[in-house]
């Protein structure tokens, strides 16, 4: 469980307006005012594409992981407050595995998920030495900094479909783990469906069958990719990017469902896409990772000249944070893509909202 300080201040018992008992769906302070997720960037002004985000054990520091660059196979950075980020601290996956092509060993779109208090799994994309297509690998570590140790073989491949990329993990209400990914059909002039499949308790063994969630439509510019799934107040939100990543048409959009396996409905204008070039100063925004965080307020009392300052019994406080990449030169990917972020992304009744 994530613990995030949230103070509720009441001076004197006569002025108390909130009960110490928490209802099933408590009113959150941030819901009492008009708000929306705040877009900020660049928060990592260096080449840091396809960022993956995690808050280990629900406590700072936050970790972010990047596609391969001059900084390493999977560079990572940290933040104590989700405001200021360090530069690259190291390489979380220096060895992507024996199954990866030695002539093209770059790693794309890493996503790290915590399985237990000291068990982490990284999902990543690389070229397979066996078939020359993109496959999805998994690596494990006892710490979020790694180094992560790769499995001997990839966990998902689809040579006939054009390969697979952009894997991300998801834990559904109730604890079932899933893997979500994109079939890279655009590499062969085919469609680009996004699939989901259950995982075993270890976080990397596929179970059951894969289910298609969405695929590309004409409005998507031929591509949907970079899926990231979260659950919030009765809705599953599947965030994704559409259009070509190396153009200013790249975006962050989303689809919604009442069931983890769908069917999903793509949200349309004016509520989607969530981010397009020009909104909040972005250029080619995409490759987002969206995670939900659950915290509780602490409990204690203080005395001052006005009476007793009381902080009530813990009240659950949920919020959503996200990271994404953005063209550094404001034109295309030739100068690299820096990391931007969204703090407290608002999700309500199937609609996502951000502010600049």
Question: Could you report the per-residue pLDDT of 15-26, keeping only the tens digit for each?
Answer: 222 223 233 344
Instruction: Name the pLDDT band for 312 (thresholds 50, 70, 90).
Output: very low
- Alpha carbon distance 168, 138 (integer Å): 11
pLDDT, tens digit, for every residue of 66-76? 999 999 999 99
> Residue range 336-354: average pLDDT?
95
Q: Which residue has the higher pLDDT, 344 or 301?
A: 344
User: What percentage of the chain reaches a pLDDT higher than 90?
Assistant: 80
Q: Is the pLDDT of residue 274 over 80?
A: yes
Asked, as a colleague might, if the bond just before 147 is cis with ω within 30 of 0, I would say yes
Question: CA-CA distance, 102 to 99, in Å (whole number)?
Answer: 9
Residue 317: what pLDDT? Answer: 54
225 given a catalytic annotation? yes
Task: Say whether 80 is catalytic.
Answer: no
- Looking at residue 307, its pLDDT comes to 55
* Whole-number percent of the chain with pLDDT over 70: 83
Which stretch of 32-46, 205-219, 262-276, 322-336 has the lowest confidence by average pLDDT?
32-46
pTM for this model (two decimals): 0.85
Task: Please determine, for residue 156, whether its predicted confidence score (pLDDT) is greater than 50.
Answer: yes
What pLDDT is stored for residue 329 in this prediction? 96
pLDDT digits (tens, 9 = 90+) for 245-271: 999 999 999 999 999 999 999 999 999
For residues 202, 206, 208 and 213, what is the CA-based torsion angle, rounded to 10 degrees?
110
Average pLDDT of the chain, as a whole number? 87
Q: Which residue has the tokens 């297509």?
A: 133
> How many Cβ atoms from other residues are within 10 Å of residue 138's Cβ?
26
Domains of the chain: 24-299+317-355 (2.115.10.20)
Rg (CA), the chain: 21
- pLDDT at site 35: 54
80 pLDDT more than 80: yes
Residue showing tokens 């976080």: 203
70: left (phi over 0), alpha (psi -120 to 50) or beta: alpha
* Residue of 91, 171, 225, 317 with catalytic role: 225
pLDDT (average), residues 173-187: 96
pLDDT, one tens digit per residue, over 85-124 is 999 999 999 999 999 999 999 999 999 999 999 999 999 9
Give the active site residue among 50, 166, 171, 296. 50
Write the Ramachandran bin of 345: left for phi over 0, alpha for psi from -120 to 50, otherwise beta.
Answer: beta
pLDDT tens across 209-251, in order? 999 999 999 999 999 999 999 999 999 999 999 999 999 999 9
Query: Distance between CA 319 and CA 282 in Å, rounded?
Result: 23
pLDDT surpassing 50 at residue 162: yes
């Amino acid at each position: 469980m994530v613990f995030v300080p949230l103070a509720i201040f009441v001076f004197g018992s006569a002025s108390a307006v909130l009960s110490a008992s928490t209802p099933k769906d408590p009113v959150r302070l941030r819901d009492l005012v008009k708000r929306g997720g705040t877009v900020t960037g660049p928060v990592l002004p260096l080449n840091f594409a396809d960022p993956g985000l995690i808050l280990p054990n629900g406590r700072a520091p936050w970790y972010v992981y990047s596609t391969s660059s001059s900084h390493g196979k999977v560079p990572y950075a940290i933040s104590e407050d989700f405001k200021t980020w360090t530069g690259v601290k190291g390489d979380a996956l220096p060895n992507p595995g024996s199954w990866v092509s030695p002539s093209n060993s770059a790693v794309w779109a890493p996503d790290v998920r915590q399985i237990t208090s000291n068990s982490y799994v990284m999902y990543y994309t690389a070229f397979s030495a066996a078939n020359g297509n993109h496959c999805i690998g998994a690596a494990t570590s006892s710490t979020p900094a790694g180094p992560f140790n790769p499995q001997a073989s990839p966990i998902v491949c689809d040579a006939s479909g054009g390969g697979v990329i952009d894997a991300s993990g998801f834990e559904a209400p109730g604890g079932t783990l899933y893997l979500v990914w994109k079939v890279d059909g655009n590499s062969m002039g085919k469609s680009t469906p996004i699939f989901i499949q259950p995982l075993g308790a270890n976080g990397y063994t596929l179970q059951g069958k894969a289910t298609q969630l969405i695929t590309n439509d004409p409005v998507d510019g031929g591509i949907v990719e970079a899926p990231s799934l979260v659950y919030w107040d009765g809705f599953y939100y599947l965030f994704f990017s559409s259009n070509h990543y190396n153009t200013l048409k790249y975006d962050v959009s989303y689809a919604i469902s009442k069931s983890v396996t769908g069917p999903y409905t793509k949200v349309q204008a004016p509520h989607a896409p969530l981010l397009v070039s020009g909104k909040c100063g972005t250029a080619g925004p995409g490759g987002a990772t969206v995670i939900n965080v659950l915290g509780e307020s602490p409990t204690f009392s203080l005395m001052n000249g006005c009476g007793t300052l009381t902080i009530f019994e813990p009240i659950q406080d949920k919020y959503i944070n996200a990271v994404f990449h953005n063209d550094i030169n404001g034109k295309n990917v030739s100068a690299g893509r820096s990391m931007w972020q969204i703090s407290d992304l608002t999700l309500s009744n199937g609609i996502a909202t951000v502010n600049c």
